Structures are given as C-alpha cells and as structure tokens.
A and B are shown apart, each in its own frame.
Chain A
Amino acid sequence: MKNIPISAMIGLFFTALYFLAAIFAPLLAPYGMAEVVGDVWEPSSSEFLLGTDNIGRDLLSRMIYGGRTTIFIATAATVLSFTLGSVLGFFAAVAGGWVDQLLSRFVDLVMSIPTLIFALVVLSVMPVTVPVLIVVMGLLDATRVYRLARAVAVDIEVMDYVEAARLRGEKTAWIIFREILPNALSPLIAEMGLRFIFMVLFVSTLSFLGLGIQPPEADWGGIVKENKDGIVYGIPAALAPAFAIATLAISVNLVADWVLNRTTSLKGGRG
C-alpha cells in the first residue's frame, strides 16, 4: 500500500464507500424507499437529513436505494460489456484474417451510430426492464471495449516475444493467457473504470429521459427527473444526485488514472 499516491487513496476510499452503501442500503437507509414520510419538498432537518422529495419521501433514503440500483446496473452492464468486448477483441487479434475483418467491420458499423441514439431506438420497442437495460447498455458498450482490447492485443501480438512463443510451438491458449493477457491487463483495468463511469452516466441519462428505471423504483437519474420541477422554485433536491454521480465518477477516475500511470511507467519509455 505504500506507493499509492494520495489522489488514488482518496479515489479508492470514496469508491469503496459508495459500493458499501449500495450493498448495505437496507441497513443504512433511515426510511423505506417508497415510503411517504413527510410533506412535499421539506428542507433538510434532523429528521430528514437531505429533506424530502416531490411527494414527501425521504430524499436520503431514496438516494441510498437509488445508488444501489444505479451502481448495480452499471456494474452488471460493465461486466457484460467487458467480458464480451475483451474476449472477442483478443480473439479477433489472435485469429486475424476474415474473423477479424468481420467482427471489426460490424463493430465499426454499430459505432457509427451514437450510442444514446441507438439505445433510444431499441428501447422504443423493447420493454424497459432492468435486464433489458443491462443487456442493451452492455452490448452497445462492448464495441468500445472490443476496439481497445483488439488494439492492445494487436500491439502485443507483433512483439518478438510472442513470435518467439509461436516458434517454440506454444498453443493459442498459452499465447493469449500467458504472453498477451498479463501485458494487456493494466490498460484494460483502467479502461474498465472509465467504462463503469460511462455506464453510471448512461443509465442516469436514460432514467432522466424516462426511459430507464421506472417509478416507484429509485435511481439517481430518476430522482433528478422527479424533482426537476422544484428547480424553478429554487428547491435544490434535484441536485443531490448530481453531487453523488460526480463524486463517484471522479473517485473511479482517480483510481483508473493511477492504474493507467502505473502501466505506462512500467513500460518505462527510456531510461
């Protein structure tokens, strides 16, 4: 732990905090998620630390439960996009030839449509449920992971040590798992952090547009949508998720930056 810079420590601390809050949400939240406990848009008090929302639910409780939903969906979609994207990306890089061409051109095609627009098109005919959201987000984002994984693997592929392994007669599995993967891991892990942030922003945006998590379930984007009318009356309830999303995203970013820097300094450039 001794060589972790202070910024990464802060990042790690807050990231862990948010994940723990998500896991233990029912224990931490003072009230039920959908429980109406007070008046509409009550200001913060000792009873309701963050005040109440547009129909009198405790905002802190909704934020904690909302964080749980947001983080769960983002994590699941990240895992999906990562597994799929990196496996296909490595496979394309090592296989080469028409397999690579076919996969890469298809990914180019999907990426030529803005992700949000494509998601909206698909969600216009699909039922909006949590599994559907995870699958749509995960699949669309897998294209980006695919590109990165393929690029990293292709870079390593042409290294003499990979050629040396081929000349030795090693099997494809050895080459992928022993020669390429250990060298590709750090940039991929850093990218995973960025993909996770993107997923948090993405699901929040969808919910805000009314096309993500459906009420009465809470998530951070949905909380903004529910409370946005208060803004005009000077009630800042809708800004609470802003703070939550921003701190989570910055924390994960700090960790990802640190992982990435560690990688580049390991490659070491010169001297």
Chain B
Amino acid sequence: MPLIIKLLAQRIALGLILLFLVSGLIFAGTMILPGDVAQSILGQSATPEALENLRAELGLNDPPLQRYIQWLGGAMTGDLGTALTSGADITESIGKRLSNTLFLAFWAAIIAVPLAIFLGLLAVRFKDRWPDKAISAVTLASISIPEFLIGYVLMYLIAVKLRWFPSVAMINDSMSLGDKLSAIALPVTVLTLVVLAHMMRMTRAAILNVMQSAYIETAELKGLNGFQVIFRHAFPNAIAPIVNVVMLNLAYLVVGVVVIEVVFVYPGMGQYLVDHVSKRDVPVVQACGLIFAAVYIGLNMVADVVAILSNPRLRHPK
C-alpha cells in the first residue's frame, strides 16, 4: 500500500500547488499587464484625480506582491473583496449564483454522463455499422458548432416555434423544483448536446482500446458471450479511462456553462463573470476566474486519483 498512498498524496499535493500557482497567474494576468488598470477602467477621458482615487481604492499603489498576498489571504478565508462597480460583497453575490450554476451543471451531467456512456458502448457494439457511423457524424457536426449557436437554434425551434419551454431561463427561490426544471430544460439540453458528442467519442475510443487487448481475445476463446466479455473483462480495465473521459468533459461543461448562461440569461456565475469583464470589474473577474479554475483543477485531480486507485499494479504491488 505505501506506494499507492505516496502517489495519491503526491497527486493531491500537486493539485494544491497547481491551484496556488494558478491564483498567482490569474492575479498576474489582471495586475501586471502593460497599461494602467485604473486608466483602462475609467477610459481615456478620466481626470487625474479620479484615476488617483481609483488607484488608492484598488490598492494599486502598494507593491504587487503585497496586494497578491492580501488578496490570496482574503480568498482563503472566504473574503473575495468588494465589486468596484456596485460596491457589493463579492462572496455574497457569488454564493447564490454559484449554487445556480452548479444546479444547471448537475442536471446536465446527470443526463449527459449515462447517455454518453450508453451511446459510446452502443458505438463499440456496432463498430463500423450505421449506429457507429451516425454517432461519429453527429460528433463531427457538434464539435463544429459553437455552444451559443446550438443554444439559439434550439431556442428558435423549441421555445419560439414549438413553445414547449421558455426561451429564457429565469429561476428564483420561490419556484418549485418542477418549475425550475422546466425553466432550465433548454439550457440543460444544450449543455448535454455540447458535452455528449465529446464524451461519446472518447468513451468509444477508451473502450475500443481495451477491447483490442489480448486478454479480451482470451476471454472470447474461453467461450464467454459478448456480455460476459464486456462486463467481466473489459469493464474493470475501462473504469479509469471512462472516469477520465467523464471528468474531462465535466471540466469542459464548466466552461460551456459560461456561454450558455449568457444565451439563456440565466442568473449564474458565467453571466456574472461576463458582465463584469465588460465592466472591467477586476476583483469580480479574479474571484470568478479563481473559482472556475479551482473546479477545473479539482475535476482533473479526481480523474487522476481514480486512475491511480483502479490500477491493479499499484493496488497489488509485488
């Protein structure tokens, strides 16, 4: 066991170090770029006094390292600062929106993951026959269209022409779960479509890779049927790659959410981030960037942890 624990500890430590470095990168990305942040926030016509006030307010006169340490210290204790444009507490504003975003992503994942794995298996089962070909054609089409366009096409067809679901996804606390689900039906559909193709294709590749192993041939030559071969011999070895596929795509979903929220005017993190990028509200952008990056890094870490845990060579060392 020691080796596996060592590897797990290493991987988790790496995730934390990565998160720390990413926070530095995000901070550097917004602070140490050419040009004056205050100037670019207020525009060319700003008076020198206004600029100076803003600099003081942003703490721009302090050395960058000191500002970074203050910011990071705050972020770790749950204080993400205040928004420049509204003066609102960022942690408070994000709290509600983050749960909305996770609600949306959760339902998309609940539908997309099992569906993608099922369709991926189907494509393997009917390799090179029409279900496989249809799946790969759909994949090609869907990776060729940006998320927001899928959103509008569906909105046009389903919400406007067929009037099945509302075209904007407004939700609030007073709504029942059913109402909420009806409200987010369209964005969830779009998000599902966005990740489905990738996930299907990668699941197919992962399983095919396992199915080409010599031990699958051994299983077939034992007279096992297709079902037994897949579940007894292919599946235990396909878990790690499939989890990897799922995590990568959930990470991808996190990014897809940003655009989809804008399309459907959904009150989540993505909408919040994009709004404040346009307003050049740096503290909000930093906070949102950090949270998105943390989720992304976390999901990738989970994938690696599962891969380590499911590796028989590490679980049963010599």
Query: How far apart are B143's CB and chain A's nearest CB, in angstroms?
Result: 8
State in angstroms the CA–CA spacing of A211 and B277 once bound together: 8
Chain A interface residue count, CB cutoff 8 Å, equals 43
- Which residue of A117, A234, A246 is within 8 Å of B161 (Cβ)? A234
B144 CB–A CB distance under 8 Å: yes
Q: Which residues of A contact B160 (CB under 8 A)?
A: 231-234
CB pair A253 B273 closer than 8 Å: no
CB pair B149 A242 closer than 8 Å: yes
- Say yes or no: A113-B289 contact (C-beta < 8 A), given A205-B148, A209-B262: yes
A interface, CB within 8 angstroms of B: 108-110, 112-118, 120-127, 197, 201, 204-205, 208-211, 221, 224, 228, 231-234, 236, 238-239, 241-242, 245-246, 249-250, 253
Q: Which residues of B contact A245 (CB under 8 A)?
A: 144-146, 149
Q: Which residues of A contact B300 (CB under 8 A)?
A: 112
Query: How far apart are A57's CB and chain B's nearest CB, in angstroms?
Result: 19
B interface, CB within 8 angstroms of A: 18, 21-22, 25-26, 29-31, 33, 35, 37, 40, 140-141, 143-149, 152-153, 155-156, 159-161, 167, 251, 254-255, 258-259, 262-263, 273-274, 276-278, 280-282, 285-286, 288-289, 292-293, 296-297, 300
- Say yes or no: A117-B255 contact (C-beta < 8 A), given A124-B277, A236-B156: yes
Closest 4 A/B residue pairs (Cβ): A249-B144, A242-B149, A124-B285, A114-B255
CB pair A112 B146 closer than 8 Å: no
State in angstroms the CA–CA spacing of A125 and B145 once bound together: 29
Query: How far apart are B65's CB and chain A's nearest CB, in angstroms?
Result: 18
Query: How far apart are B233's CB and chain A's nearest CB, in angstroms?
Result: 24
State in angstroms the CA–CA spacing of A238 and B154 once bound together: 12
State in angstroms the CA–CA spacing of A96 and B130 once bound together: 46
16 CB-based A-B contacts, threshold 8 Å = A109-B18, A117-B288, A117-B292, A117-B293, A122-B33, A125-B35, A127-B40, A211-B274, A211-B277, A224-B149, A232-B155, A234-B161, A245-B144, A246-B149, A249-B145, A250-B140
Q: Which residues of B contact A123 (CB under 8 A)?
A: 277
State in angstroms the CA–CA spacing of A249 and B141 once bound together: 9
Query: Closest B-chain residue to A232, C-beta based?
Result: B167
Q: Which residues of B contact A204 (CB under 8 A)?
A: 146, 148
- Which residue of B29, B143, B144, B167 is within 8 Å of A122 (Cβ)? B29
Q: Which residues of A contact B286 (CB under 8 A)?
A: 121
Query: How far apart are B199's CB and chain A's nearest CB, in angstroms?
Result: 17
Query: Closest A-chain residue to B36, C-beta based?
Result: A125
State in angstroms the CA–CA spacing of A242 and B157 once bound together: 14
CB pair A209 B282 closer than 8 Å: no
CB pair A208 B285 closer than 8 Å: no
Query: How far apart are A121's CB and chain B's nearest CB, in angstroms?
Result: 4
State in angstroms the CA–CA spacing of A210 and B258 once bound together: 13
Query: Closest A-chain residue to B14, C-beta based?
Result: A108
CB pair A112 B30 closer than 8 Å: no
CB pair A231 B155 closer than 8 Å: yes
CB pair A242 B145 closer than 8 Å: yes
Q: Which residues of B contact A120 (CB under 8 A)?
A: 258, 273-274, 277, 285, 289
CB pair A113 B35 closer than 8 Å: no
- Which residue of B161, B258, B285 is within 8 Å of A116 (Cβ)? B258
- Which residue of A115, A124, A232, A236 is within 8 Å of B282 (Cβ)? A124
Q: Which residues of B contact A118 (CB under 8 A)?
A: 26, 29, 289
Q: Which residues of B contact A112 (CB under 8 A)?
A: 18, 22, 293, 296-297, 300
